[in-house]
Structure 1
Amino acid sequence: MNKLFIFQDNIDKDYRKELEYAYKLCKNSSHKVEIGNLTVDYLVDNSIEVVISNGLPKDWLFILKGLNIVTVTLDKIEKYLDLVDIVIDFKSQDSNKYFTGEIYSVCKNKDFVFDEIVNLITKLDWDTNFWGFPVAYLSSKYLTDNILLRIEKVIKRDNIKLIEYLCNCHDSKSVKFAEKNGFHFTDIRLSFEKPLNEKYDFKLPNNITFDRAKNSDIQELREFSKDLYKDSRYFFDDNFEREKVSEFYQTWIERAVLGQFDDACYCLYDNGTPFGFCTIKYNVLNTANIGLFGLSKKYQGKGLAKTLLYLIFNMLSEKNVHTVFVVTQGRNYAAQKLYQGVGFSTKTTELWYHKWL
């Protein structure tokens, strides 16, 4: 996307700092101008597609909308939500909105992929190679007429066949835009969080051990995990082959063991044979995400899933991780019950949409 950063005086210094840092991240592919030098001719002559600012006067916002230019504002969400296409507000604690909270600070969180948001749509290279056709993710989160218009160029350029879109269930406008424009609902995504502020004491059953997965465990992990993910959105989208969906999650686990996708995989072992696993990805702000979690069917229903999670909590606490996150599907009631049973609380509810082209 051809981007323009607009700077102006008399702006909250914290939001101004966010904009300045964002420009440093994107300056190789962006223009920069002070608002006093901004003209319609400048926008047209430079083929600007996305404008990023700390919130512009309303007359300029209306002009940009008329030119079908996507507006991104790093400022107070309650002030600009209904005026621009995308708002990023690291000071807001409104978890029902996109891009709110400290994890969306460009300055503080090095894991925050700001450039993906302002590029609006991101081609997923690994998914593309795995599935055998071009796949993209709608990284803008918000969905508007201007965003749909601007991503069309990328879709045609990269010959995208599938667009994946994760929409906040509270964002009724984007839900309506999605359903009106050919996106079909595939899944509910539930995100949970848990603070790690206690140590769990318990004794493992005889012959059961806990350790980080080794390369020699990969074949066994792949074998018993192949039928564990029949609640996934891919399984319920008939455009995907069932065997290929199983291979997708088997490959995820293998890459986690190798530290190539998630950072690590930890296992429960029975006499040295893995039967349960949990993949982990570490974040900058002393938090971590659980990626894939599963137990071999013959070990289910014995309380060992909780045992594995408690061991994971203790291990993460020793690494100074203070909060852990995990997601599951809306149709996976067993996983929801498990996570709630060990102290996770619901953080967000989102809707997965697919659009096939």
Structure 2
Amino acid sequence: MGLEFNKLEWDSEFFGFPVGKIIQDINSENDLKKIHSETDLKLIYYITKKELVEELRSNEFFDVILVDEKVSIQKTLNRDAKIHPKVEIYDEEEVDPDLMRLAFTAGLHSRFFKDKNISHGKAKELYQIWIEKSVKRILADIVLVYRLDKRIIGFMTILTESKNPHVSLLAVDPEFEGRGASFALMSSMEGILISKGYEIVKSETQDQNKKAKLIYRRQGVEFKEKHYVYHLWRNNPTIL
């Protein structure tokens, strides 16, 4: 069976050029040659459990960039968890400026900000759309915010469309780190999901984010599989 790939319509429209995703492992340079010759994709997302060997990263068809190393995480929900008094479900139709700023903070270490071929302006636009659609309950079902003197200093978005809900975005204002906002958001999320009948919540974190991993460990989070995330940008060599 040949290498399979999908064109991503929303991403293509957003970036203004063809974007796709490889859905099988890349095993040889012939795989890259095939996708180069059979599609017009300019940017391809590739997520894999094994790191690409140097021979494939240095191929003549695509500029291969390692943009993230993600670890899947999972937590069994604490049945005694309660909603923290400073945490509330965000139910406004417009995005509060503090919430928008925190959405950018959540994305700073993401693959879109780390890719040298994507401007920070375009990456910020992506997270602006993400938080706007989360507030409108398109990309999230629950948006939690932590308020301190009416100011939003932390937030979390949760998607519950599958059997196990998924935390998509989480950030705390760096100025207020160490004051328990992350733990309050986590506990509140667990209390809400328990009340809805869920038992497990899932998410991902960057393998290099030692601070986040420490917080998760203190919360009893289990670390699962690690995945390497690559962006493949089309080169235009003369193919003989």
Q: 1:322 to 1:189 in 2, by over 3 A?
A: same
CA contact 2:81–2:191 (8 Å) conserved in 1:
yes
| Aligned partner letter, 1:162 | L
Q: How far did 1:302 drift?
A: 0.4
**Runs of 5+ in structure 2 lacking a partner?**
235-240
4+ residue runs of structure 1 moved beyond 4 angstroms? 145-150, 174-178
Which one has more relative contact order, counting CA pairs under 8 Å at least 6 apart? 2
Counterparts of 2:106 and 2:169, CA distance in 1:
10
Counterparts of 1:315 and 1:192, CA distance in 2:
19
Q: CA-atom RMSD, angstroms?
A: 2.5
Counterparts of 2:99 and 2:93, CA distance in 1:
10
Q: 1:203 to 1:254 in 2, by over 3 A?
A: closer
1:168 matched residue in structure 2? 49
CA contact 2:104–2:128 (8 Å) conserved in 1:
yes
- 1:45-71 Cα distance to aligned partner (Å, 9 max, x none): xxxxxxxxxxxxxxxxxxxxxxxx43x
2:164 is aligned with 1:287: yes
CA contact 2:75–2:200 (8 Å) conserved in 1:
yes
How many residues end up aligned between the 2 structures? 230
Question: Aligned to 2:140, which of 262, 268, 271?
Answer: 262
Alignment TM-score, normalising by the size of structure 1:
0.58
- Aligned ranges 1:1-357 → 2 under 5 Å: 69-70=1-2, 120-140=4-24, 142-145=25-28, 148=32, 151-152=35-36, 154-155=38-39, 159-169=40-50, 175=53, 178-179=56-57, 181=59, 182=62, 183-201=64-82, 204=85, 208-284=86-162, 286-357=163-234
- 1:92-120 Cα distance to aligned partner (Å, 9 max, x none): xxxxxxxxxxxxxxxxxxxxxxxxxxxx2
Counterparts of 2:53 and 2:202, CA distance in 1:
25
CA contact 1:189–1:330 (8 Å) conserved in 2:
yes
Identity %: 26
| Aligned partner letter, 1:165 | Y
**Runs of 5+ in structure 1 lacking a partner?**
1-68, 71-84, 86-119
Alignment TM-score, normalising by the size of structure 2:
0.83
Counterparts of 1:333 and 1:250, CA distance in 2:
26
2:238 matched residue in structure 1? none
| Aligned partner letter, 2:138 | Q
Q: 1:316 to 1:297 in 2, by over 3 A?
A: same
| Aligned partner letter, 1:194 | K
